[in-house]
Structure formats: C-alpha cells, structure tokens
C-alpha cells in the first residue's frame, strides 16, 4: 500500500479544497463501486449487497481534508500574515515550508519576528510567510489563498512519515477495504468526507443523506510510546485501536464490542482507546437524524497535526483486515 499512501499524502487538500484528493480517489475506485459527489463535496462510493436477503446499511467514513493556513493580509514588503484552518499549532511552524493551493502551487517559508532573539513560544501575530515577494504588487498570493505543509513522503523501516497522514491514511484504509472486499450481505457506503478538521461538516450532511444503520469512522489517534510522553496505552506497531471514548463521543457499546470480538476471532492485534482530547467524524454521524450506532477504528500516529506525522505499515494492513471482516459479514450488534 505504500504507493497508494504516498500518492494520497502528497496530494494537496486542506479543508474546503479537497477536490484533488477526491479526483485521485475516484480514479482509484473506478468501476469497483457506484460513486456520486454530494453538494458538500463528499465522495460517496456504494458497494451494494451481493445477497438477496436485505442487509444493513453500513457507513465507513474517512476524511479527505488536511489542516492548513489561510492568508489574512499581505504587507507592503510582500510578507503574508495568516490564520489557521483546523488545529495548527504555532510551535510546529517556524522554518516550515508550505505550498499554496493556486495554479502555480506557490511555495513559501514560515518565519518568526523574534527568530534567534527570544526563547518565548511564538504567537500567531508574530508569524509570517515569505513567498519571495518584495511588495504587495508582486506577491503571487492574495488574501484568502490557502496553503498546506510541504513535506515529501518518507519511510523509516516499517514506519511511514509525511504530512497529512491525518487522515489520508484513513482514506487509504477505506479505499483498500473497498477494493479487496468480496461478497457482503450489507450495503456498504464508503464516504470520503470534507471539512472534518473544521467541525466534521462533511460527515454531518452525508450521514443525514445516507441514514445508515451503523457507522465506523476511520481516523488517526495519538500514541503514548515516545520518551516521557503522557501515559496513554497506544503504541505504533501493536495494531489499530478500537475507540471507546473521546472528547466528542462515547462509542456505541455494541459497535465497540463487535469490533473487538471480530479482531479477537481473527487474531488481529488491536488496542483500546480512550482519548481525552479530540474527536472524529463518528461524533457527527452518531447524532444524525434520530441517531446512528457509531464507532471508530483508529490508526496510531505520532506527531499529529505537525508537518511529519508517523504511522506503522503493519497497523495499516491490520486495519484493512479488520475493516474488511466487519463489512463483509452480518453486523453483530
């Protein structure tokens, strides 16, 4: 799956500008599913049931968007002031390269007014982007233009490094599951959602339209396996995590138990996740219409929301195996 993952993470697609990622996914899916794009921009790929008996509607959601930056002002020297799209942290930005979502793909470098003159943490008002301009007039970028981190995909043995693992790795897992699954008694809706990083907006409208019987979001989660990290029993290489709770939702007990039971029956390694900060598309899906039993399959990821997020390839392949088993059999809830 490395080639698939690399193509996804290196594609530019901040919240509200997911078109390039969607085009890539559409091309990869091809004739493997019925596809449509809703008014919000979500890509919905349906694999219909292959049995005569009526099964359930299962929604699998992975978000296409990544965090980014948006230009708020161009000063007289051509430097750009900017705001955040999603959970961008100032401490991760100094010296980072960015690439704009414009026709030229304009690159830029983030600077700090106090560079080498202070040990303070940078504040948003002190940061700027240098795109090589010398004035407002020759700036290739305008107010409202958006950018993402510009980092190549790398491998560290079994570990994969890139920007936008959150949540292109979830898209890769969902896509590979769609392509590998065979007969199923369920109508399985693989939904590649927009604008998760700014409020799970794509999942909100797509779940309302599909009205699924159950749903599983596929997203990343933090790890507690780095030096002196806060105690958190999630580590790279020990399998996907079954979410029990995060700050936005309590997973439906039957969905959680179904995922754990399936993993144990198949001998797929898994971890249990209780995340005190952050949430996923499952939060929005759970509250759709009169409610949807929802859970989340989480892929352990180090350094989330930085230019270099790290996942383990075995966790990814085990996630595909578990998700494929879940959608290919009758739901046990």
**CA-based nearest residue to 170, from 328, 18, 320:** 320
Residues 237-244, mean pLDDT to the nearest whole number: 97
Catalytic residue among 66, 196, 197, 273: 196
Task: Return the pLDDT at 116.
Answer: 75
Task: Return the pLDDT at 199.
Answer: 94
Residues 306-324, mean pLDDT to the nearest whole number: 97
Task: Tell whether the model's pLDDT for residue 54 goes beyond 80.
Answer: no
Q: Please name every residue paired with 127 in a beta bridge, in sequence order, or none if there are none.
A: 112
- The lowest-confidence range among 35-39, 224-228, 266-270 is 224-228
- Joined together, the tokens standing for residue 208 give 């309302």
Task: Tell whether the model's pLDDT for residue 55 goes beyond 90.
Answer: no
Task: Tell whether the model's pLDDT for residue 48 goes beyond 90.
Answer: yes
- Burial (CB < 10 A; 0-12, 13-18, 19+), residue 15, is buried
- The pLDDT tens digits of the residues spanning 187-208 come to 999 999 999 999 999 999 999 9
Task: Tell whether the model's pLDDT for residue 295 goes beyond 90.
Answer: yes
Task: Return the pLDDT at 117.
Answer: 80
More confident position, 311 or 104: 311
Question: Are the CB atoms for 311 and 299 separated by under 8 Å?
Answer: yes
Task: Return the pLDDT at 103.
Answer: 87
**CA-based nearest residue to 69, from 44, 33, 101, 116:** 101
Q: Please name every residue paired with 299 in a beta bridge, in sequence order, or none if there are none.
A: 220
Residues 242-267, mean pLDDT to the nearest whole number: 96
More confident position, 183 or 108: 108
The pLDDT confidence band at residue 88, using thresholds 50, 70 and 90, is very high
For the entire predicted model, the pTM comes to: 0.95
User: Does the annotation count 123 as an active-site position?
Assistant: no
Task: Return the pLDDT at 41.
Answer: 97
CA-to-CA distance for 288 and 283, rounded, in angstroms? 9
% of the chain exceeding 90 in pLDDT = 88
What are the chain's domains? 2-66+163-328 (3.40.630.10), 68-149 (2.40.30.40)
Task: Return the pLDDT at 79.
Answer: 97
Separation of first and last alpha carbons in the chain: 31
Q: Could you tell me the strand order of the sheet in which 43-47 lies?
A: 34-37, 43-47, 187-193, 57-63, 214-221, 294-300, 241-245, 271-274
Residues 86-93, mean pLDDT to the nearest whole number: 92
- The pLDDT tens digits of the residues spanning 62-71 come to 999 999 999 9
Burial state string for 244-278 with b = 16 or more CB within 10 A and e = fewer than 16: bebebbebbeebbebbbebbeeeebebbebebeeb
The CA distances from residue 49 to 57, 165, 266, in Å, are 9, 30, 23
Task: Tell whether the model's pLDDT for residue 52 goes beyond 80.
Answer: no
CA 285, 64, 125: angle at the middle one, nearest 5? 100
Residues 99-108, mean pLDDT to the nearest whole number: 93
Task: Return the pLDDT at 182.
Answer: 87
């Amino acid at each position: 799956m490395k080639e698939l993952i690399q193509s996804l993470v290196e594609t530019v697609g901040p919240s509200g500008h997911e078109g390039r990622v969607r085009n890539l996914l559409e091309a990869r899916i091809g004739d493997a599913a019925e596809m449509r794009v809703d008014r919000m921009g979500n890509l919905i790929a349906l694999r219909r049931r292959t049995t005569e008996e009526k099964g359930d509607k299962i929604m699998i959601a992975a978000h296409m968007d990544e965090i980014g930056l948006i230009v708020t002002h161009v000063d007289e020297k051509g430097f750009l002031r900017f705001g955040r799209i999603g959970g961008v942290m100032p401490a991760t930005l100094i010296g980072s390269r960015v690439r704009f979502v414009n026709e030229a793909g304009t690159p830029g470098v983030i600077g700090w007014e106090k560079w080498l003159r202070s040990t303070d943490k940078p504040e948003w008002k002190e940061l700027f982007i240098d795109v090589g301009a010398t004035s407002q007039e020759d700036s290739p970028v305008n107010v409202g233009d958006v950018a993402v981190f510009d980092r190549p995909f790398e491998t560290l043995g079994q570990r994969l490094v890139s920007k936008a693992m959150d949540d292109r790795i979830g898209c890769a897992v969902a896509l590979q599951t769609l392509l590998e699954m065979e007969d199923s008694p369920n109508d399985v809706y693989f939904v590649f959602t927009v604008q998760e990083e700014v409020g799970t907006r794509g999942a909100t409208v797509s779940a309302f339209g599909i009205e699924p019987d159950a749903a599983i979001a596929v997203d990343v989660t933090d790890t507690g396996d780095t030096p002196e990290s806060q105690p958190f029993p999630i580590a790279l290489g020990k399998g996907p995590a079954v979410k029990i709770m995060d700050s936005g939702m309590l997973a439906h007990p039957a969905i959680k138990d179904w995922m754990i039971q399936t993993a144990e029956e198949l001998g797929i390694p898994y971890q249990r996740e209780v995340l005190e900060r952050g949430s996923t598309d499952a939060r929005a899906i759970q509250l759709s219409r009169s409610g949807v039993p929802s859970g989340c399959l989480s892929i352990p990821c180090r350094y989330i929301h930085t230019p270099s997020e790290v996942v383990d390839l075995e966790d990814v392949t085990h996630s595909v195996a578990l998700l494929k088993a879940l959608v290919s059999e009758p739901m046990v809830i």
